[in-house]
Structure 1
Amino acid sequence: MTARRVLTGLVPLLLLAATACGDDGGGGESTSESGKKLNKVTLTLNWYPYGEHAPFYYGKAQKIFEKHGIDLAIRAGQGSQKTVQATGAGQSDFGWADTPALLGGVDSGVKVKSLGVFLQTTPSSVQFFTAQDIKTPADLKGKTIAGTAGDALSKTFPVFLRKNDVGQSDVKVQNTDPAGKIAAVISGKTDGLLGYASDQGPIMADKAKKEVGYLRFADHGLNFYSNGLITGTRYLADNGDVATRMVKAVSESFAAAQQAPGPAVAAMAGASEQLPPQKVLSEQFATTVTLLHTPATRGKAPGVNTDGDWQRTIDVFAEAGVVKNPKKVSDYWDAAVAAKG
């Protein structure tokens, strides 16, 4: 075996170890100030903290997790795919990850399940400065868009174009590192980027001091599940009661944060050295709360899912090639735990 192959094989393991390391490990118990016994659990995010994650920090600050018997440690992530891998490997008790990464992970044998998707309207979008005068998908013809090869956005973009009668060859997608997409647009190397309306857009507007426009996939005929709560199947089998309480705590935290957006964002202070400015966090969270439901779940608690919405999501990613061997909804989502939550 060549040295390159050895190193390539080791990289995912090293990344998983890096995600799992730290002195805030899950497992065991702690005691609250009031003397209540708490289960210590870890939650690995999909990325470094940004506005979408405010409910977790607010839930901690308001002792919502403590109310449900949970001592929560929140860890930054390095992309949904790595979060899915780490959670499936038992190196994080819970994860916050994009549904296509979960689908792809299960498809490739990762032992992980969703406990409920919270961002049920996808934030996937084409983002650009409004000076580009892009109003409809047809206006993308002849444009160059920054995307990252292999990620869910780049794989679903052709589906988005087809649904809007735009040829894939009419739009150039320039392969760009995730961290470099905003810089590519600001520098004029690309006309726009593929990103999340709840993430990159407000950051780009703040950095460039220019208004950002969006073509949201969901507004143009293509919706699917996005970020949600996941856990490993082994952890779920051994800690079903903790998982049920975690679902309840996350749902209650989202509901509470939605009612108090200012305090929820303020609760993120000090969460990360990479934390965006508070104005950006506020805009990110304001967009996040618009993504919590589909028509089938409107009026229900955050995190309530339906089989129909799951099946539509699976179908989209089967069409996009993310899922090679589509399985039953129950292979991806544990509805029983969600129902108890």
Structure 2
Amino acid sequence: MKRRTHPAQAQRDPMRFRVLAAALVPMLALTAAACGGSDETTTSSGKKLDKVTLTLNWYPYGEHAPFFYGKKQKIFEKHGIDLTIKAGQGSQKTVQATGAGQTDFGWADTPALLAAVDKGVPVKSIGVFLQTTPASVQAFTSAGLKRPEDLKGRTIAGTAGDALQRTFPVFLKKNGIAESEVTVQNTDPAGKIAAVLSGKTDGLMGFANDQGPIMAAKSGKPVSALRYSDFGVNFFSNGLLVGERKLKSDGDLVKRMVAATSESWTAAQRDQAGAVASMAGASEQLPAPPVLTEQFKTTLTLLHTPSTQGKAPGVNSEADWRQTISLFHQTGVITKAQEPSAYWQPQEPAR
């Protein structure tokens, strides 16, 4: 027996089809965006921008203020870049992700870059910005660590295998101290501050522009830093990097990214309060404004070596690269010391 459609049902079906079709359109659009999407955005004025991701070395802290400031002040936009800033989980992971093309650009420690290139990761520096290392031993000022010899008989928190701990023996030897005269207590990066706060260690190996201000804020006590660079040991720290594939396929974007980054650092240096304020809401883990201010203030002391004084942020010296490469070959971080060009492709930042 043939089933008959009720007249009312026949009238409803076309309407139901149109509703269903209307619902499917945005779903299909979302699916298309997820599958590919555009690599460009357009501003309200009609200017086309390249979508760019930058992955940091860690969760945002004061050192990263220039990126947020450059985005807020539309410096990156001026250079045709729609910048997305992502938190990292350590320099090593950021370097690997950049080499693999999982992020367009990375911000990471140079020793991690050297180690990755040594293992065949296709990634290069396009400019180290922190050219004086923030590596230091940090302790409460009351501990009296004013010179390297004050470390004798002390216990210092460190993280096995990182650049700080790999260079610590060089720092000690440079200053006539035997490794046996200082006890190093290994802990994970997050546990170093806790070790000092609890009194389990006398100090920690860390970055002068990172842990020190946090430790001071948490304890209410002044903190001092025994900087490696003040006592004969300096090496490159954080800088901008890119995967070799993107470097070859999109050289114009790489140049614009370097130019925008250099300009952002210069502008942030002139407006330090504004740079710190631009970080509001950057992360749930973001330190308090006074800590960010101190972190950024210290970061600005690290931008140059004697070879690059007076030059734009991110301009490097080949001699400084050779010094860094030699040090990390000496410490076993890399098995072969290659020419600087194996690790670094200089760009021309904005003047």
TM-score of the two chains, using structure 2 as the length reference? 0.89
- The CA deviation at 1:133 is 1.1
Aligned to 2:247: 236
Answer yes or no: is 1:111 the counterpart of 2:125: no
1:90-112 Cα offsets, whole Å, 9 max, x none, are 00000000000000000011100
* Residue 158 of structure 2 is aligned to residue 178 of structure 1: no
How far residue 26 of structure 1 moved from its aligned partner, in angstroms, is 10
The answer to whether the 8 Å contact 1:130/1:213 transfers is yes
Partner of 1:31: 42
Between the aligned partners of 1:218 and 1:155, the Cα distance in structure 2 is: 15
Secondary structure at the aligned position of 2:267 is classed as helix
Amino acid at match of 2:179: Q
* Residues 196, 203 of structure 2: 8 Å contact kept: yes
For the Cα contact (< 8 Å) 1:142–1:172, is it kept in 2? yes
- Mark the structure with the bigger radius of gyration: 2
Q: Which residue of structure 1 lines up, in the alignment, with residue 179 of structure 2?
A: 168
Match of 2:164 among 153, 159, 162: 153
Q: Does 1:203 align with 2:175?
A: no
C-alpha displacement at 1:69, in angstroms? 0.3
1:116–1:338 CA contact under 8 A, matched in 2? no
Looking at structure 2, the residues matched to 212 and 27 of structure 1 have their Cα atoms a distance apart, in angstroms, of: 48
- Tell me the residue number matched to 1:277: 288
Q: C-alpha displacement at 1:338, in angstroms? A: 4.0
Change (3 A) 1:26 1:87: farther
Quote the Cα distance in structure 2 between the aligned partners of 1:217 and 1:112: 27
Q: Distance in 1 between matches of 2:37 and 2:334?
A: 31
Superposition deviation, residue 340 in structure 1: 8.4
Cα distance in structure 1, aligned partners of 2:167 and 2:81 = 37
The question of whether the paired residues in 2 share the 8 Å contact of 1:115 and 1:338 is answered with no
The separation in 2 between residues aligned to 1:117 and 1:226, in whole angstroms, is 7
Compute the displacement of 1:32 (Å). Answer: 1.5
Instruction: State the SS of the aligned residue for 2:142.
Output: helix
Partner of 2:313: 302
TM-score by length of 1: 0.91
Residues 308 and 232 from structure 1, CA distance in 2 versus in 1: closer, same or farther, beyond 3 angstroms? same
5+ long unaligned stretches in structure 2: 1-33
Could you tell me how far apart the structure 2 residues matched to 1:323 and 1:201 are?
Answer: 29
Deviations 1:39-80 (A, max 9, x none): 001000000000000000000000000000000000000000
CA shift digits 1:216-239 (9 cap, x unpaired): 000000011000000000011111
Q: Distance in 2 between matches of 1:200 and 1:27?
A: 40
Q: Which runs of 5+ in 1 are unaligned?
A: 1-22
CA RMSD of aligned residues (A): 1.4
Alignment partner, residue 88 of structure 2: 77
Contact 1:26–1:73 under 8 Å retained in 2: no
Residue aligning to 1:88? 99
Segment of structure 1 superposing worse, 57-66 or 32-41? 32-41
**Counterpart contact for 1:26–1:41, Cα < 8 Å:** no
C-alpha contact (below 8 Å) 2:314/2:349 kept by paired residues:
no
Return the alpha-carbon distance in structure 2 between the equivalents of residues 65 and 226 of structure 1. Answer: 23
Give the aligned residue type for 2:39: G
Aligned letter for 2:99? G
Identify which of 227, 238, 252 aligns with 2:263.
252
* Cα distance in 2 for residues equivalent to 1:292 and 1:27: 36
Deviations 1:134-186 (A, max 9, x none): 11101101100000001000000001001000101110110011001000000
Change (3 A) 1:261 1:340: closer
Aligned to 1:140: 151
Q: What does the per-residue CA deviation read over 1:255-284, in whole Å, with 9 as the maximum and x for residues that have no partner?
A: 000000000000000000000000000000
Amino acid paired to 2:161: G
Correspondence for 2:231: 220
Specify the code of the residue in structure 1 equivalent to 2:254: A
Contact 1:26 1:42 in 2 (8 A): no
Please tell me whether residue 292 in structure 1 is matched to residue 303 in structure 2: yes
The number of equivalent residue pairs is: 317
- Distance in 1 (alpha carbons) for counterparts of 2:263 and 2:349: 14
Q: What's the % identity of the aligned pairs?
A: 68
Secondary structure in structure 2 of the residue aligned to 1:222: coil
Counterpart of 2:138 in structure 1 is: 127
2:53 equivalent among 23, 37, 42 = 42
Distance (Å, rounded) in 2 between the aligned partners of 1:146 and 1:125: 12
Equivalent residue, structure 2, for 1:56: 67
For 1:318-329, list aligned pairs within 5 A: 318-329=329-340
